[in-house]
């Protein structure tokens, strides 16, 4: 396996999104539990974006732009296209169920997040090329501009490539 | 962004202080060792910052999570870093990293969480009780983000009441977080005459 490219890591925290077309930059979200990391990449050119979605549907107009899937995913698509991306593909990571308490509102937010993200991508006509979702473990996702790679790591695990030009 | 006054945050910090004091006494009785409590913090933070309140989000920790129900909704989270967890298990005479070890940590979490919550209930007159805890070993960020997401629909702010318990003479400490819902905070402040 190639050595990890030591690029500039840009943190995408809960409710945030970021885009990049700068070789060497890596968009990172650490510790996705029930949240979903949505990576959008251009199919031909090194243009990428990452959103850190926390909940399925917005109840009000305020809050960080990527907090809710129904606002964050279309906004990410818009911003990646603004950088010149034409043919978008998606990789989704996260949506785990860390805890099993039932309760009215606690019921599997992870699965609801994943469903909401898939619905938005479907509506926008963006195909999902790879996914590491569900289960009970937290995950960290990295979106590398160089090689347009998306890698994922579970706690105490190794970095695994989910998407990359090399495996196209 | 915060809409809490210094006086309100001071009062919440004092609640956390007394609650973690009681939890420390319970831990000390269990271990037969003195336990120190660090000065607790009470901070109103944007959600993304709240995830980082307990340190590097990628750090591995064992988290014991107790949902609190009753007059207020809240969650108590105890975080044990791996090395500290191992020391604690050894003090309790169980093998770290085994089912027995996790079960013992869950039980510690249960006892500490209950003593914390009971002292909150006594001080405020609120009827609140914890549900049985769940124990997970994962990244701190994943644990906290998943706890915060449950109540994040209508708020962009989290109140983090954070204290540390340190077992004297051992390199062993754990982080204790109380994450109330916003309505829960108003209710707490109301009972203290500070709403």
> Hunting for tokens 């943190």 — which residue is that?
A11
Question: Which segment of A25-29, A153-157, B127-131, B153-157 scores lowest on mean pLDDT?
Answer: B153-157
What are the distances in angstroms from CA A35 to CA A68, A113, B95? 10, 7, 33
- ipTM of the modeled complex: 0.89
Distance CA A36, CA A33 (A): 8
CB–CB contact B57 A99 (8 Å): no
Question: Are A88 and A43 spatial neighbours (Cβ–Cβ below 8 Å)?
Answer: yes
Chain B contact present for A110, CB below 8 A: yes
Q: Find the CB nearest A155 among B131, B139, B145.
A: B139
Q: At CA A49, angle to CA A137 and CA A53, rounded to 5?
A: 45
B99 vs chain A: nearest CA distance in angstroms?
A: 17
Q: Please list every residue in chain A whose beta carbon sits closer than 8 Å to the beta carbon of residue B142.
A: 31-33, 96, 98, 137-139, 155
Q: Which of A66, A81, A154, A160 is nearest to A124 (CA)?
A: A81
Q: Find the CB nearest B67 among A33, A96, A103.
A: A103
Catalogue the active-site residues of A.
35
Per-residue pLDDT at B1 = 40
CB atoms within 10 A of CB A25: 19
What residue ranges of chain A have pLDDT lower than 70?
1-6, 101-107, 166-168
Chain A contact present for B111, CB below 8 A: no
Per-residue pLDDT at A106 = 53
Chain A contact present for B65, CB below 8 A: yes
Per-residue pLDDT at B2 = 52
DSSP track, A45-91 = SS-EEEEEE-BSS-SSS-S-TTSBHHHHHHHHHHHHHHTT--SEEEE
3-state secondary structure of A128: strand
Question: Are A132 and A152 spatial neighbours (Cβ–Cβ below 8 Å)?
Answer: yes
Q: Find the CB nearest B67 among A54, A101, A139.
A: A101
Buried b (16+ CB within 10 A) or exposed e, A26-65: bbbbbbbbbbbbbbbbbeeebbbbbbbbbbbeeeeeebbe
- Is pLDDT of B15 > 50? yes
Question: Are A161 and A39 spatial neighbours (Cβ–Cβ below 8 Å)?
Answer: no
- Is pLDDT of B115 > 70? yes
CB–CB contact B153 A55 (8 Å): yes
Task: State the count of interchain CB pairs (< 8 A) between A and B.
Answer: 107
What are the tens digits of pLDDT across the range B178-189? 888 888 888 888
What are the tens digits of pLDDT across the range A141-157? 999 999 999 999 998 88
Chain B contact present for A149, CB below 8 A: no
Q: Which of A141, A108, A109, A116 is nearest to A32 (CA)?
A: A141
Q: Which of A93, A90, A97 is nearest to A74 (CA)?
A: A90
Six-digit token string for B132: 């049985």
What are the tens digits of pLDDT across the range A96-124? 999 876 544 456 899 999 999 999 999 99
Per-residue pLDDT at A110 = 95
For residues B23, B25, B30 and B32, what is the CA-based torsion angle, rounded to 10 degrees?
150
CB–CB contact B146 A33 (8 Å): yes
What are the tens digits of pLDDT across the range B66-93? 999 899 888 999 998 888 899 989 988 9
Per-residue pLDDT at A6 = 58
Question: Are B34 and B168 spatial neighbours (Cβ–Cβ below 8 Å)?
Answer: yes
Per-residue pLDDT at B155 = 82
Q: E strand or H helix at A119, and its extent?
A: helix A109-123
Question: Are A119 and A133 spatial neighbours (Cβ–Cβ below 8 Å)?
Answer: no
Mean pLDDT of chain A: 90
- Is pLDDT of B143 > 80? yes
Chain A contact present for B140, CB below 8 A: yes
Per-residue pLDDT at A107 = 63
Length of chain B: 195
Q: Find the CB nearest A31 among B137, B142, B149.
A: B142
- Per DSSP, B96 falls in state T
């Amino acid at each position: 396996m190639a050595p990890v490219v030591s690029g500039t890591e840009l943190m995408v925290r809960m409710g945030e999104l970021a885009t990049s077309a700068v070789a060497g930059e890596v968009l990172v979200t650490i510790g996705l539990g029930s949240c979903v990391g949505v990576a959008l990449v251009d199919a031909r050119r090194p243009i990428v974006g990452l959103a850190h979605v926390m909940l399925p549907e917005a109840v009000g107009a305020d809050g960080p732009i990527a907090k809710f899937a129904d606002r964050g995913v279309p906004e990410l698509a818009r911003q990646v296209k603004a950088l010149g991306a034409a043919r978008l593909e998606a990789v989704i990571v996260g949506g785990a169920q860390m805890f099993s308490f039932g309760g009215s509102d606690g019921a599997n937010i992870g699965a609801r997040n994943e469903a909401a993200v898939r619905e938005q991508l479907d509506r926008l006509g963006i195909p999902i090329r790879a996914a590491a979702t569900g289960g009970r473990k937290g995950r960290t996702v990295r979106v590398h501009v160089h090689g347009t790679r998306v890698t994922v790591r579970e706690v105490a695990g190794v970095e695994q490539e989910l998407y990359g030009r090399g495996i196209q | 962004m915060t809409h809490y006054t210094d006086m309100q945050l001071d009062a919440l910090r004092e609640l956390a202080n007394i609650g973690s004091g009681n939890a420390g006494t319970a831990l000390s009785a269990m271990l037969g060792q003195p336990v120190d409590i660090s000065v607790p913090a009470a901070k109103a933070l944007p959600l993304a910052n709240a995830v980082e309140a307990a340190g590097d989000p990628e750090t591995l920790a064992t988290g014991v999570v107790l949902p609190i129900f009753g007059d207020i909704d809240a969650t108590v989270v105890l975080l044990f870093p791996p090395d500290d967890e191992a020391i604690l298990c050894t003090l309790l005479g169980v093998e770290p990293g085994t089912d027995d070890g996790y079960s013992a940590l869950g039980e510690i979490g249960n006892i500490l969480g209950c003593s914390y919550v009971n002292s909150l209930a006594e001080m405020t007159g609120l009827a609140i009780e914890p549900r049985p805890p769940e124990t997970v070993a994962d990244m701190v960020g994943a644990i906290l983000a998943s706890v915060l997401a449950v109540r994040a629909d209508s708020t962009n702010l989290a109140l983090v009441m954070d204290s540390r318990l340190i077992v004297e003479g051992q390199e062993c400490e754990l982080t204790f977080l109380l994450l109330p819902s916003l309505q829960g905070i108003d209710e707490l402040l109301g009972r203290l005459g500070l709403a």
